[in-house]
Amino acid sequence: MEKFKSFTAKAMPLSMKDIDTDMIIPAQFLTSVSRAGYGQNLFRRLRDNDPQFPINQEKYKGAGIIIADSNFGCGSSREHAVWAILDAGFRAIVAKSFADIFYNNSGKSGLILATLPDKTVDKLLATATNEELILTVDLEAKEVRRDGEIFPFDYDPFRRHCILNGLDDIDYILSIKDDIYNFRKEQTKAPLMSTLVKNNN
């Protein structure tokens, strides 16, 4: 996993509630055996049916942050939705709320999700719709920033540690392998010590 501390980019607004994983990456495109290549079909059904869908608009080309409404990522548990967003060049999503499974899948792949108050998100959505909006998503400080404004957000401490240090689940286990070894070593001693105490009595 690539390390993530802070990221500044143009924001693309998606003023829709309940964007599900099939909207993010339709089922017919789940054919790749690797994580690469899904970005070309991100929001494929929505962008094909609506020429004015944000990802089709020239003014949002190069955007690296998505601003969404509530319950983003609901629906199926497919990890491909996260992979498609990352492969398309987006590193963070700011929204009112996220579906639990999507939130967990995002943390494991390094896609940063920042949950902000409804009024704050509505303001950011309106701004990004009407003018170019540049945001900074700072995981280290747990802040979203724009033009001197600071919007704090909470983030799971374990996932934050892993993403800041570029650790996926396996990398994290390997990073504490000495602690695991020492713990298991102590555990194997426990039955032997109990037997010795019993025999001495």
Question: Cα separation of 130 and 7, whole Å?
Answer: 22
Question: Cα separation of 21 and 12, whole Å?
Answer: 18
* One domain for residues 162 and 172: no
* One domain for residues 74 and 156: yes
Contact predicate 43/24, CB 8 Å: yes
Question: Cα separation of 173 and 1, whole Å?
Answer: 14
Flag whether the pTM goes above 0.75. Answer: yes
Q: What is the pLDDT of residue 188?
A: 72
pLDDT digits over 56-68, tens only? Answer: 999 999 999 999 9
* One domain for residues 150 and 190: no
Q: Which residues pair with 32 in a beta bridge?
A: none
pLDDT digits over 22-38, tens only? Answer: 999 999 998 877 788 99
* One domain for residues 144 and 112: yes
Residue 1 belongs to some domain of the structure:
no
* One domain for residues 111 and 155: yes
Contact predicate 171/3, CB 8 Å: no
* H/E run at residue 178: helix 177-200
* One domain for residues 192 and 176: yes
Which token pair is 120? Answer: 């704050």
Longest Cα–Cα distance of the chain, Å, equals: 84
Question: Domain total for the chain?
Answer: 2
Q: What percent of the chain is modeled with pLDDT above 70?
A: 86
